Structure 1
Amino acid sequence: MSWFDQSPYEIKVEWGERGAREAANRGDIVIIVDVLSFSSTVVTAVEHGAEIWPFRPPVDEEAKAYAERLRAELVLGRAEAQRFGGHSLSPLSFTPADHGRRYVLCSLNGASCVRMAERVPALLVGSLLNASAVAAAANRLKRELNANITVVPCGEKWPDARENENRLRPGIEDYLGAGMILSRLEGSKSPEAEVCIGAYEASGTKLAELVWDSASGRELREKGFEQDVLYCARTDICSVVPVLRGGRFADANGEAGG
């Protein structure tokens, strides 16, 4: 055990790809939280019965070949989807018409964290949309697998980081989503988890307002995706819990609804 980590506790929180790797090394159940927008998009797509296959970024020839092998549609970035059509990282681009269809989803933050933790006992996707549902599923898996839980807020990347600088930019929307999930998990919580819960609880009725005016929220709004921000800030409107099985996300609670 490293004396400077959160190992003494059953419930932990770690940031980004490095945090996901740390959780994987411990053999924890992992909950990936990327509110704007990977997690919210995966939750919504699975809610509609779509099959989502995460793939490490960028959207390149290797990603295209992977989608072709799966006979799946490669999900584009919002700007590309606006130009060429098709689905995007916008959760609102998925509808009940996508039931049974396959999609390959790349994401600089969410999919990258999934890649780091894909071999853990269970990898779940959480957001504000399904916070209570994912916590309930994680509590059940914790008992069944006798494993601890790490919640991983993904954060963002600085686009202009210099050499030897850490590119991670923590995002409050992911921290608040992680806090909501952590507040519903059972077991001893690390100080880091307790502080994260405190941030969520302190947000109170301002949670949606904080997400709206966060750096990530303003970035999406300025690009014309105000409805995405409003939607992703809603709480507990989805009951599905995406879990990684055989390289794709399925509903941990059973067959997704359409």
Structure 2
Amino acid sequence: MKISAFFTPAEAREEDLKGKIAVVIDVLRASTTIVVAISNGAKQIIPIGSVEKAYELRETLRELRPLLCGERDGQKLPNFDLGNSPFEYTESVVSGKTLIYASTNGSQAIIRAGAHASSVYIVGFVNLPFAVSFLTEKLQDIALICAGRLGGFSLEDATCAGMLIKSFLSDKRYEMTGDQAKVAVMLYERFSRNISEALMTSVHGRYLASLGFEADVRFCAEVGIYKVIPRLEGKIIV
């Protein structure tokens, strides 16, 4: 089985994803927040590509009393119930709820992956060891899609991809393909002893810290604290 990596969603073409498992990585913060929400009992999460569509969907689903969740430029949107901090998604808030989720980078990456891949999973550092053990047994080619930042490269997502690849390669049935996968592994090896450093020195990590979200950034660097792997079923994350 082969493992490839893409540092931005736009780089992953239809032919790169067809018949493969897509793993979407948006460490800061969509992947982490989605993992926390599912772990805390959220019934379903609907990723939405635009704020306008999020408002429209809330009206369509108003009988379910969904929560509007997400951000633009790292900050909670007007009239939204929740922003994008994992600390907001407590069990008392999200358990049994439908979440309509619109984030700057992660939502688009998930939607794009869902259009072409055979299956889509959401992974961050917080659920990474469990995710590897789960996905290894699928015995399929895997495409790692980094959500990136505003269409460009992000250090934290690439480092997480590298950790995933390194973990998969401990199973001889898997091999990496492509230069981006090799670079991702190199980045992980650079930061393997201090994942928090990768996040706190990244452009997006520093930006979030400047907004007062340093605790979020450090939390997103925690490895293996959740044993769930959210998956996309149709257009809904469960």
Give the alignment's TM-score, normalised by structure 2: 0.87
Do the aligned partners of 1:20 and 1:113 also contact (CA within 8 Å) in 2? Answer: no
Amino acid at match of 2:67: E
Do the aligned partners of 2:17 and 2:143 also contact (CA within 8 Å) in 1? Answer: no
Do the aligned partners of 2:162 and 2:186 also contact (CA within 8 Å) in 1? Answer: yes
Q: Would you say 1:79 and 2:75 are equivalent positions?
A: yes
Structure 2 match to 1:109 = 105
The aligned length equals 225
> What are the ranges of 5 or more consecutive residues in structure 1 without an aligned counterpart?
1-8, 158-167, 251-258
Whole-angstrom CA distance in 2 between matches of 1:191 and 1:19:
12
From 151, 173, 177, the counterpart of 1:190: 177
Change (3 A) 1:182 1:228: same
Do the aligned partners of 1:11 and 1:189 also contact (CA within 8 Å) in 2? Answer: yes
Whole-angstrom CA distance in 1 between matches of 2:213 and 2:175:
39
How big is the shift at 1:191?
4.1
Amino acid at match of 2:76: E
- Residues 131-146 of structure 1 aligned to structure 2 (within 5 Å): 131-141=128-138, 143=139
Change (3 A) 1:89 1:23: farther
How big is the shift at 1:84?
5.3
From 218, 239, 243, the counterpart of 2:231: 243
Structure 2 match to 1:88 = 83
How big is the shift at 1:85?
6.7
Amino acid at match of 2:32: S
Change (3 A) 1:190 1:10: same
Change (3 A) 1:68 1:24: farther
Amino acid at match of 1:190: T
Structure 1 match to 2:38 = 46
Structure 1 match to 2:118 = 121
Whole-angstrom CA distance in 2 between matches of 1:109 and 1:23:
22
Identity %: 26
How big is the shift at 1:172?
0.4
Give the alignment's TM-score, normalised by structure 1: 0.81
Deviations 1:184-212 (A, max 9, x none): 22411114323312210221322212211
Whole-angstrom CA distance in 2 between matches of 1:177 and 1:227:
19
